[in-house]
């Protein structure tokens, strides 16, 4: 049974496929309410209320995936997730329209004083002169952060006859041209906009992008909006410019601390607020819940996820192409690790042939996770393999080569360790499967599965017979056997496969023979 914890409120219609799956147990409770069962859950679904911290990852020892039903992942410690090998996914476009519409509603409300006027009429006042507003038409709207939401706002602003100024250091010329805007500098936006709205993620570079100093550069009487994340507009800086009258008004859906407690901003008549409602529509909530549900189901089914924050994004088509190499790479990493029980400094992977055209970084991480998984006692997977390798002082690299060794595709891993190096080559043959075709300088051909014995020996008469006798004496049946040698009478290797694991006494007995150089037992 797979256990999924949904710790924030979510559209039950969106969650339905998870609720319907017979093999999945869905618990809809807050994290604090299941404190003693946290170690059971395979997946965690959240909105913005649950703080997914390092401490939570430490408690959720079985966790494999966190699904954020929304865009912003600033409530999730991505670094800690990566370290713990947990995939983080979000629902990047399910709430775009709702948030753009909310921002627009806030902008119109702010410039026409609708919330304030609403309160007075309901208090039996009829004071029309107190609420003279400002048209949107002809005004310059500065959009900081021109992604999905910023783009939708621009489309609507154009219909309202507004001029649009955009600041986004990552905006491509193509996208700007497609939406018909031009990117300007932050200073140009600040000095020319009548209204400024922020739509960036909350990251180091955007925290306080509007602050006491930058707001001072804006036009007197500017209107500011934040429907993205509390902290993108520095609250102390905003308060300063509301007090001195430089800012005519602000519309805030988000706060540095939510809910805002004793927040001075709430005292200003010209500040209108909503309780983080940008994505709170039936449509958006259904969309984001359905998107993360589908992604989590795919992931738990071993299918690719399309919106991961800490894994390369793969389409189904690409994932299907990668899968055979993914499994081969994982086994190759594992084999090398078991054959090389010494400290390792470097793992170098080379891709040749058709595999080189795929998302090799994913295959490299699979190889590393196979390698590290056989030598560390924590969960290692593609998410955290790179980080764990670095932590343990193991450098890794990948290279695409145009060499042609005669295989349609070839993966080669070279591992450099204390007084020992090891090279393994593998290929995937359609309809036949994975083959290991080279160990160090030897050509060989075996199927990497089950219980194997790798023996390095002298190419002499009687060695193979002696190995067979020892195995026979222990009543061990040889399933398959491959041999390889460089030259007559020189060094040679054997790879034997068995139906059951071998015990250490047997390998020690074989290793004691003079013409046997080394014996390595491999379990896959």
Ligand X SMILES: O=C(O)CCC(=O)C(=O)O
Ligand Y SMILES: NC(=O)C1=CN([C@@H]2O[C@H](COP(=O)(O)OP(=O)(O)OC[C@H]3O[C@@H](n4cnc5c(N)ncnc54)[C@H](O)[C@@H]3O)[C@@H](O)[C@H]2O)C=CC1
| Phi, psi (degrees; rounded to nearest 5) at 88 | -115, 130
Rounded least distance, CB 46 to ligand X, Å: 9
Q: 471 pairs with which residues across the strands?
A: none
Classify residue 150 by its DSSP letter. H
Check binding of 188 to ligand Y (CB under 6 A): no
User: At its nearest, how many Å lie between ligand Y and the CB of residue 31?
Assistant: 21
Q: Using the minimum distance from each CB to ligand Y, give the nearer residue, 205 or 445.
A: 205
What is the C-alpha to C-alpha distance for residues 348 and 296, in angstroms, rounded to an integer? 33
x/- letters, 68..87, toward ligand X (CB under 6 A): --xxx---------------
Q: Are 38 and 31 in contact (CB under 8 A)?
A: yes
Binding at 320: pick from ligand X, ligand Y, none (beta carbon under 5-8 Å per type): none
| H or E stretch covering 44 | strand 43-46
Q: What is the DSSP string of 302-348?
A: T---SSBSSS----HHHHHHHHHHHHHHHHHHHHHHHH--S-EEEEE
Query: Vertex 90, ends 385 and 50: CA angle to 5°?
Result: 95
Q: Is residue 95 close enough to count as binding ligand X by CB under 6 A?
A: yes
Q: Computed from CA positions of residues 206, 212, 218, 223, in that sequence, does the dihedral angle turn out positive or negative?
A: positive
Q: Of these partners, ligand Y, ligand X, none, which one is at the site of residue 249 (CB under 5 to 8 Å by kind)?
A: none
229 is catalytic: yes
Q: Name the one range near ligand Y by CB under 6 A: 24-32, 93-101, 410-418, 460-468.
A: 93-101
375 is catalytic: no
Q: Does 205 bind ligand Y (CB under 6 A)?
A: yes
Residues 31-60 that bind ligand X (CB under 6 A): 47-48
| Catalytic choice (158, 240, 258, 466) | 258
Q: Which of 94, 142, 145, 333 is the binder for ligand Y (CB under 6 A)? A: 145
| One residue of 57, 167, 325, 498 binding ligand Y per CB under 6 A | 167
Among 216, 214, 152, which residue's Cα sits nearest to residue 186?
214
Using the contact rule CB under 6 A, the part of the chain among 67-75, 80-88, 192-200, 470-478 near ligand X is 67-75
The pairs formed by 433-441 with CB atoms below 8 angstroms and a separation of 24 or more are 433/324, 434/324, 434/327, 434/328, 434/331, 436/332, 436/335, 436/495, 437/407, 437/410, 438/412, 439/484, 439/493, 439/495, 441/486
Q: Binds 448, which of ligand X, ligand Y, none (CB < 5 to 8 A, cut-off by type)?
A: none
Contact positions vs ligand X (CB under 6 A): 47-48, 70-72, 95, 276, 278-280
Contact positions vs ligand Y (CB under 6 A): 70-72, 95-96, 99, 144-150, 167-170, 199-202, 205-206, 227-229, 253-254, 276, 278-279
Residues forming the active site: 229, 258, 276
């Amino acid at each position: 049974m797979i256990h999924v914890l949904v710790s924030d409120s979510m559209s039950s219609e969106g969650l339905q496929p998870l609720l319907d799956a017979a093999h999945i147990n869905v618990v809809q409770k807050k994290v604090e309410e299941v404190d003693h069962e946290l170690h059971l859950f395979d997946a965690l679904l959240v909105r913005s209320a649950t703080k997914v911290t390092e401490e939570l990852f430490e408690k959720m020892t079985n966790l494999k995936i966190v699904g954020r039903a929304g865009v912003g992942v600033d409530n999730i410690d991505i670094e800690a997730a990566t370290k713990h090998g947990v995939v983080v996914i979000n629902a990047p476009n399910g709430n775009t329209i709702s948030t753009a519409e909310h921002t627009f509603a806030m902008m119109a409300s702010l410039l026409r004083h609708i919330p304030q006027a609403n309160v007075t009429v309901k208090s039996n006042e009829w004071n029309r002169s107190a609420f003279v507003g400002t048209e949107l038409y002809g005004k310059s709207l500065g959009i900081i952060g021109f992604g999905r939401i910023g783009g939708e706002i621009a489309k609507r602003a154009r219909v309202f006859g507004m001029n649009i100024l955009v600041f986004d250091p990552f905006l491509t010329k193509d996208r700007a041209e497609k939406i018909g805007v031009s990117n300007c500098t932050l200073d140009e936006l600040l000095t020319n906009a009548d209204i400024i709205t922020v739509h960036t993620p909350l990251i180091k570079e955007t925290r306080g992008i509007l602050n006491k100093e930058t707001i001072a550069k804006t036009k007197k009487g500017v209107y500011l909006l934040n429907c993205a994340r509390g902290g993108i507009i520095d609250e102390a800086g905003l308060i300063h410019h509301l007090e001195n009258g430089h800012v005519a008004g602000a519309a805030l859906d988000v706060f540095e601390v939510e809910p805002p407690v004793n927040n001075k901003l709430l005292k200003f008549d010209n500040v209108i607020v909503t309780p983080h409602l940008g994505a709170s529509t039936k449509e958006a909530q259904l969309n984001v819940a359905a998107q993360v549900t589908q992604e989590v189901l795919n992931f738990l089914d071993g299918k690719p996820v399309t919106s991961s924050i800490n894994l390369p994004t793969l389409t189904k088509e690409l994932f299907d192409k990668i899968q055979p190499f993914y499994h081969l790479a994982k086994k190759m990493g594992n084999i090398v690790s078991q054959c090389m029980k010494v400290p390792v400094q470097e793992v170098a992977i080379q891709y040749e042939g058709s595999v080189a055209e795929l998302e090799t970084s994913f295959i490299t991480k699979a190889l590393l996770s196979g390698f590290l998984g056989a030598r560390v006692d924590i969960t290692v997977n593609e998410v955290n393999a790179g980080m764990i390798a670095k932590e343990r002082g193991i450098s890794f690299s990948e290279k695409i080569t145009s060499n042609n060794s005669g295989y349609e595709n070839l993966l080669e891993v070279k591992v450099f360790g204390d007084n020992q190096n090891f090279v393994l080559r593998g290929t995937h043959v359609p309809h036949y499967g994975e083959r290991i075709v080279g160990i160090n300088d030897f050509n060989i051909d075996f199927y990497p599965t089950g219980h194997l014995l790798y023996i390095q020996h002298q190419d002499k008469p009687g060695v193979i017979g002696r190995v067979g006798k020892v195995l026979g004496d222990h009543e061990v049946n040889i399933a398959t056997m491959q041999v390889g040698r460089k030259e007559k009478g020189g060094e040679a290797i054997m790879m034997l496969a068995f139906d059951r694991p071998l015990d250490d006494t047997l390998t020690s007995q074989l290793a004691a023979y003079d013409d046997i150089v080394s014996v390595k037992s491999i379990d896959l």
